[in-house]
Amino acid sequence: MASNAFTTSILKLAGGIALAAALAGAAWSQSAPDLSGVTVTVGTPNKTGLHRQLLASGEANGTPYKIEWADFDSTPPLVEALRAGHVDIAAGGDTGVLTAIANGAKITILAGWVERKEGGSAILVRADSPLKTVADLKGKKIALPHFTKQHYQFAKALDAAGVSWDKNLILNLNTTDGLSALVNGQVDAFVVWDPNTAIAQKQHGAVILQNLAKVVDTPNVLYAPTSGYDDALKRAALEDLTRRIIRAQAWVNNHPKEWSEQVAKLSQISLDAAELQANRSSVEFVPATNGEAIAGWQKEVSFFFKNGQFRKEFDVKDVVAKDFDDIVESENKKLAKTN
């Protein structure tokens, strides 16, 4: 009898555990949204951004949603595509995003990301150029993709050197046309970023007149259309993808050799250019509410507004996703433990 009573108790206990597990599973399935019908289009403004990082690191694998890719030459056309509903998340220069917001675009900044090394934002000249300083650029023709991060950095560099902004001499050219103009002697300098800087150096003998991160270096941004941020399913996908993006960047930081090989293959650039870019870059994500980030972005907004290039001045704190801070901080803590 005692044995039967014991067996009965065990069966009841096992049944209770099974029931608890079933209830827990049901609760989990109710709390975790079904993202199988969600598609997230990832925008990339250069040859080495999110698209290649997520693929090379393996973080694009096994997502509960579908990923599509949209690649661009720079941030401004990417932001226009995002504004039109063709891109759901992107990472890139802050200036293009702040410009779009100033012009009425509904964009939410999910996080900031900072370059911890010298990076590749630079003013380039030909190897035989007599120009040696930013002050020497007075009266010279310069190629620059307008309203990119480098637009702001270059404007600040000119200010520091006492050179006025001449709209007739500072030509709005994309990265391909700008490099061609420099190589063919149609402009005296070319303002650009990696991997374009590295390509110009390694394949065309260009030299750096001024590294622009040494002038001013506000954080870049991870951002999404506010409509996507406000949509429950899309937002759940964005939260998961933000974690993957942070991990992908950490992989890039910690695997420069593998990253160089991958990006050379994926982006079809020379290995030596890919290696140059990888070795002078180390990026870290920070919460969008980070005090230094907010202050830097706000100064940038004020700078362009005072110069008449922004239609309105706005409070950056109103366009950041405060609830994504925990995502950034928790992923950074996990990465710190594993590194």
Q: How far, in Å, CA of 207 to CA of 311, rounded?
A: 36
Q: What is the mean pLDDT of residues 155-165?
A: 97
Q: pLDDT tens digits for 202-250?
A: 999 999 999 999 999 999 999 999 999 999 999 999 999 999 999 999 9
Contact 32, 59 (CB under 8 A): no
Which residue has tokens 């630079």?
122
Name residues whose C-beta falls within 8 Å of residue 113's C-beta, 6 or more positions apart in sequence: 91, 219, 220, 221, 222, 249, 283, 284, 285, 286
Supply the Cα-derived Rg of the chain in whole angstroms. 24
Contact 98, 178 (CB under 8 A): no
Q: How far, in Å, CA of 328 to CA of 207, rounded?
A: 36
Q: In what order do the strands lie in the sheet with 142-144?
A: 170-172, 142-144, 189-192, 122-125, 207-211
pTM above 0.85, yes or no: yes
Lowest mean pLDDT among 6-15, 126-135, 201-210, 330-339: 6-15
Q: pLDDT tens digits for 103-147?
A: 999 999 999 999 999 999 999 999 999 999 999 999 999 999 999
Q: What is the mean pLDDT of residues 99-104?
A: 95
Amino acid letter for position 46: N
Q: pLDDT tens digits for 175-187?
A: 999 999 999 999 9
Q: Pick from 174, 114, 133, 111: which is nearest to 324 by CA?
A: 111
Total count of residues recorded for the chain: 339
Task: Give the model's pLDDT for residue 338.
Answer: 84
Domains observed in the chain: 39-117+219-338 (3.40.190.10), 122-214 (3.40.190.10)
Q: Pick from 111, 319, 318, 108: which is nearest to 229 by CA?
A: 108
